[in-house]
Structure 1
Amino acid sequence: MAANYAAAETAGLTGSATLSARLSTMMFMQFFVWGAWNVTLGLVMQTVGIGNLIGNAFSVGPIASIAGSLLLGMAATRYLSPRMLMVILHLVGGVILFLLPSLVTPERAGAFVWLLLGYMILYMPTVGLANTIALKSFGDRVDNFPFVRAFGTLGWIASGLIIGWAGLSASPQIFTVAAVVSVALGLYSFTLPSVASDPPRDESIVRQVLCVEAFGLLRQRSFLVFILSATLISIPLAMYYAYASPFVGAVGISNVGGTMSIGQMSELAFMFSMPWLYRRFGVKPLLLVGMIAWAVRYSLFAIGDSGDSLWAVYVGVALHGVCYDFFFVAGAIYTGTIATPKGVNAQAQGMLTLFTYGVGMLLGSQIGALLYAQLPATPTIADWQHMWWYPAIAAAVIAILFHLTFRDDSRTTTAA
């Protein structure tokens, strides 16, 4: 009997390891596809002479995060399983990615932005679908999820390193690399675990899409302050995603993709420590450190150059782990703490995504485009330095307002 028990336990461990490996592969490819083109797209557009549309190109992600969740995340999952949606969306998305390089020209730039929007409407729901497949496959063993999700960050890092090593950082062929992996992921998705869609809630789909129950949480003053701060801090965040890569190229760094991946490496380093840090220090210190880090990062960019201050550019990129994890990961944990007692965790997380990656980053992309439009056709390092002071000051002001107005009452709420 003991031998049978040991054999069963060994088989269970082996099965769990195999499942983790399968899901880790999915996460790796999922974020490889996005990272392959997103990191250096601004540099590509500036190189081919359509830098004036960088703001519009980076506005499609926020728009798609709203439209994609509405059209696919809420509606399509009622008719198709998460696995089949992954297959369809990544295969169709891969075809679109193959078409995009031919449109990255001054003559066809408008069509490029519109087709990129269409692609992102297909891609954005797959991020949530990948999380859903992983979490439901693990069942009660959700403690395995951070390990699997870390492979998504590794995929983003690997894409940057490969793009940089291949000398494609400024080439429209970044989309071709993403297309190959997208098609591979679509085919691989046939082998993913088959998990059921979420059962429909008693409330109407309109109430679910509009996150009606989650919006009720805004009656709590602390959560309202947090949501407003998260939305505002996402405005300077958008400028990093859109304009950091052309700036890094302007200071004379040739391997832009590899350099930008340093930020994801630091993100990975801090990711696993966030639950412990949250329990140890609480939400306000973490959120505040994250916001201050944004101000410091942009200040470093504002003093960085191709000479003795090149170190400031590298340190600014490396601060991504503190900037992202200390605010957005800690913010997601805080949102769950507030929402779970009310039973609206999923809606609240969706609402947080709507305000940050939707409203905040859309505003940031457009404001960044206005600032970039003030630069000459071929910006000097001094021009770039001047532009970075705007998000640096904005992030500092937001951090001060947050410190003065936010009071953590999540423990009181949880107890109640």
Structure 2
Amino acid sequence: MKITIRLRLSLMMFLEFFIWGGWFVTLGTYLANNLNATGAQSAMVFGTQSWGAIIAPFVIGLVADKYFNAEKILGVLHLIGALLMYQLYSTTSFDVFYPYVFGYMIAYMPTLALVNSVSFNQMKDPAKDFSSIRVWGTIGWIAAGLAISFLFHWDSAEGIKEGLLQKTFLMTAIASAILGLFSFTLPATPPKAASGEKASVTEILGLDALKLLGNRNFFMFFIASVLICIPLAFYYQNANPFFSEIGMANPTGKMTIGQASEVGFMLLLPVFFKRFGFKATLLAGMLAWAVRYILFSYGNAGELSFLLITGIALHGVCYDFFFVSGQIYTNSKAGEKHKSAAQGLITLATYGVGMLIGFWVAGIITDSYNTAGVHNWQHIWLFPAGFALVVMVLFAVFFKNEKIEYKE
């Protein structure tokens, strides 16, 4: 790959995830403090990510893959996103905020697949080249968090009180406009229809992979994937408000430790996978979710702050050992014909259905332990901890161990 193309793809990935991390991490804190949203209302807003994930396959498969170059629709969606982000920056009412964020997520979620399509189209060996491009997305997410905490101090106690988190939407709008314009300079990625490739609606949505559910092991993995997204939703929805409410300094910046650990544990995953196998790897990921939330339950911003930092740092185990391992397992079970369909089905089930349920449950639990605006965070975090442990035990009992080859 030419160095100029590599640099352009890396910048594309950096901006793509800078945009996501630039507002989504602090969203819960903003909703509670700027819009006085309840837990149920916050769940509605976070649930728009799931609706975006559900609708995204239609946008990509029925529009982008058939009629437009991927880089062009990527540009259009980010320009639309920039306008919607500016509207989010301008509004002070939840009733106005919600439809804008719903529209934004429908525009943004398809771009996650589009940046991959643009990247893969330029690679002769994706297995070798993609990780070095994709890592710039993680760096972009980290950069956004560090900027919010250490450069602008928008998430400081004073910043939150003054409503400065609202500026995260303006920052994201600017970044989205830049990526929108930059996308039109990216290498051409023609629609699949131009090369004679056609996909049915069932293929696009991953429904051709439903036959895999007839396999008991895959069915148990599928159910576990949906259920584990309930504890995952608690982290996305509640972590930043929790850290801010208990007085942790620079919470958004410190949460980037999770993304750094994700990179590190990604490197350790092949070693763990080969030595202990698929089942043990997934169980380790589930256990990490439970341990993380127990640490959150008993940690504080004072002498026990190390418990909170450790919980954040476990993100690499939580995410990589379950979701990345799950992608490898799905790939191995699907076979050549249904690989894409199977990955699409798992994505739809987890980030779509699973997290939609998870955000709803998180909203109910958060409101249940809210007295006069003060949350009983210990009880809130113990719920997803216990839930993750139950899922882990059920998976351990009903999933039969099988050897899966890990191909780097």
- Quick check: TM above 0.5? yes
C-alpha distance in 1 between matches for 2:101 and 2:149: 22
8 Å Cα contact 1:160-1:261 kept in structure 2: yes
- Per the alignment, residue 391 of structure 2 pairs with 398
Residue 18 and residue 276 in structure 1: after superposition, are their counterparts in 2 closer, same or farther (change >3 A)?
farther
2:98 alignment counterpart: 113
Could you list the per-position Cα deviations for residues 244-267 of structure 1 after superposition, in whole angstroms to 9, with x for gaps in the alignment?
A: 001001221131210111111111
Question: Structure 1: where are the runs of 5+ without partners?
Answer: 1-14
Alpha-carbon spacing, 1:76–1:132, altered in 2? closer, same or farther (3 Å):
closer
Measured in 2, the distance between the counterparts of 1:36 and 1:25 equals 16
Task: Give the 4+ runs in structure 1 shifted more than 4 A.
Answer: 199-204
CA-CA distance at 1:191 after TM superposition: 1.8
Aligned to 1:219: 214
Equivalent residue, structure 1, for 2:8: 22
Specify the alignment match of 1:123 in structure 2. 108
Distance 1:407 1:317 in 2: 31
Greater gyration radius: 1
The question of whether the paired residues in 1 share the 8 Å contact of 2:81 and 2:108 is answered with yes
Task: Specify whether residues 201 and 391 from structure 1 end up closer, same or farther in structure 2 by C-alpha distance, changes over 3 A only.
Answer: farther
For residue 152 of structure 1, the aligned residue among 117, 137, 140 is 137
CA RMSD of aligned residues (A): 1.9
| Conserved 8 A contact 2:57-2:205 | no
1:368: which partner in 2?
A: 362
Question: Aligned equivalents of 2:230 and 2:120: distance in 1?
Answer: 30
SS at match of 1:193: coil
Give the aligned partner of residue 102 of structure 1. 90
Taking a change above 3 Å as real, the CA distance of residues 133 and 349 of structure 1, as seen in their structure-2 partners, is same
Q: Is the CA contact 2:86–2:170 (under 8 Å) kept in the aligned structure 1?
A: yes
Relative to 1, partners in 2 of residues 1:84 and 1:287: Cα closer, same or farther, differing over 3 Å?
A: same
1:71 CA drift (Å): 3.2
- Bigger drift between 293-302 and 401-410 goes to 401-410
| Residue 11 of structure 1: aligned partner | none
The Cα offsets for residues 297-320 of structure 1, whole Å up to 9 and x where unpaired, read as: 000111112332222111111111
**Which residue number in structure 2 is paired with residue 74 of structure 1?**
62
- Larger displacement relative to structure 2 (163-172 or 230-239): 163-172
Stretch of structure 1 that moved more, 25-34 or 94-103: 94-103
Structure-2 separation of matches of 1:175 and 1:290: 33
For the 8 Å contact 1:135–1:142, the answer to whether it is kept is no
Label 1:49 to 1:191 Cα distance change in 2 as closer, same or farther (>3 A). Answer: closer
Name the CA shift for 1:141/1:48 in 2 (closer, same or farther; >3 Å).
Answer: closer
Other-structure match for 1:5: none
Question: What SS does the aligned partner of 1:358 have?
Answer: helix
Under a length normalisation based on structure 1, what TM-score does the superposition of the two structures give? 0.90
CA spacing shift, 1:18–1:280, aligned 2, 3 Å = farther
Q: Is the 8 A contact 2:286 2:392 kept in 1?
A: yes
Task: Pick one of 340, 362, 379 that aligns with 2:374.
Answer: 379
CA distance in 2, matches of 1:149, 1:190: 20
Task: Indicate yes or no: 2:192 matched with 1:198.
Answer: yes
In the alignment, what sits opposite 2:323? Answer: 328
Structure-2 change in CA distance of 1:228 and 1:203 (3 Å): farther
SS state of the match for residue 252, structure 2? helix
Q: How far is 1:410 from its partner?
A: 5.8
Superposed CA deviations along residues 308-363 of structure 1, whole A, max 9, x for unmatched, are: 22221111111111100111111111111111x25111111111111110111000
Q: Give the whole-Å Cα distance in 1 for the aligned partners of 2:113 and 2:351.
A: 13
C-alpha deviation, 1:404, in angstroms: 0.9
Do the aligned partners of 1:338 and 1:410 also contact (CA within 8 Å) in 2? Answer: no
- Are residue 89 (structure 1) and residue 77 (structure 2) matched? yes
Please name the residue that 2:343 is paired with.
Answer: 349
Contact kept in structure 2, 1:69 and 1:124, CA below 8 Å? no
The equivalent of 1:39 in structure 2 is: 25
